[in-house]
Amino acid sequence: MPEGHTIHRLALDYGGHFKGRATQVTSPQGKFSDAAALLNGTELTRTEAHGKHLFLGFRDEEWIHIHLGLFGKVNFGGTPAPPPTDTVRLRLANDTSYVDLRGPTTCALITDTEKQAIHDRLGPDPLRPPKDTDPNAAYRRISRSRTTIAALLMDQKVIAGVGNVYRAEVLFRHGIDPYRAGKDLTPAEWDAIWTDLVDLMREGVRNNRIDTVRPEHTPEAMGRPPRVDDHGGEVYVYRRANRPCHICGAEIRTADLAARNLFWCPNCQKP
């Protein structure tokens, strides 16, 4: 479930279980063995997330850089840790906990300088502290672009951390057609989208899932049977193709956009 909220949550959870103590670092699958051997027995000193990138700090200026990609999964557990399966790329363990990483796109040992280069190529992240985060930088790019707002929201250079679910849901919540060109988005619309993403994604970190349905549109409030969408949260349009819009009843539409599935309500989201 890797959108930005998941990664920020992982930064907190890795820190909570392992920070400040000698940590056993292994790579049962083998692809990270050399680096694991180098770090094994040292201390996890800090953890950080920017968009969908996770950084685990060891020693002075060394970091494990993790990107889950589409398939990566992380699994925490208590001791005794079970024998790792052969797909575990990275296991951290101490006296009380273990955590397994499987299927990441990236798991690499990097320096401070290399880490900085990653920050430099990422746009502002609604979940980073406001002092390092400038939503106007994102709007400058958006307001100059003929690309669709749906594509721009997924471009990590423009804004970091938004994925396919938050993209679909935030556009629905603001009644914006996904095919609208970035340059046709008003500053007020962008402010509203950014502020909303900050709120939604913070809640996503807290609950470790994506919920976007406003209280007045929950099934209870609308006198309908309770539901939980396939991916475990409560949403308006994501993966709800051909089903009725919670608000107006129109059929939710879906289309391919840059090799990803897009979902929207043709009635609630006007050009």
Confirm whether 124 is a catalytic residue: no
List the one residue from 87, 96, 111, 195 that touches DNA (CB under 7 A): 87
Confirm whether 3 is a catalytic residue: yes
List the one residue from 11, 49, 127, 154 that touches DNA (CB under 7 A): 154
| 145 lines the binding site for DNA (CB under 7 A) | no
d(CA 66, CA 243): 36
Closest distance of CB 23 from DNA, Å: 22
Confirm whether 2 is a catalytic residue: yes
From the list 3, 48, 62, 169, the catalytic residue is: 3
| 210 lines the binding site for DNA (CB under 7 A) | yes
| 178 lines the binding site for DNA (CB under 7 A) | no
What is the residue-wise DSSP string for 147-210? SBHHHHHH-TTTSSS--HHHHHHHHHHTTB-TTSBGGG--HHHHHHHHHHHHHHHHHHHHHTS-
List the one residue from 97, 145, 148, 164 that touches DNA (CB under 7 A): 164
Closest distance of CB 20 from DNA, Å: 29
| 72 lines the binding site for DNA (CB under 7 A) | yes
- Residue 182 · residue 149 · CB < 8 Å: yes
What is the residue-wise DSSP string for 11-63? HHHHHHHHBTSB-EEE-TTSTTHHHHHHHTT-BEEEEEEETTEEEEEETTTEE
d(CA 66, CA 226): 37
From the list 28, 48, 52, 178, the catalytic residue is: 52
Site residues for DNA per CB under 7 A: 1-3, 6, 29, 51-52, 67-73, 85, 87, 89, 102-105, 154, 156, 163-165, 210, 231-232, 239, 258-261
Residues noted as catalytic: 2-3, 52, 260
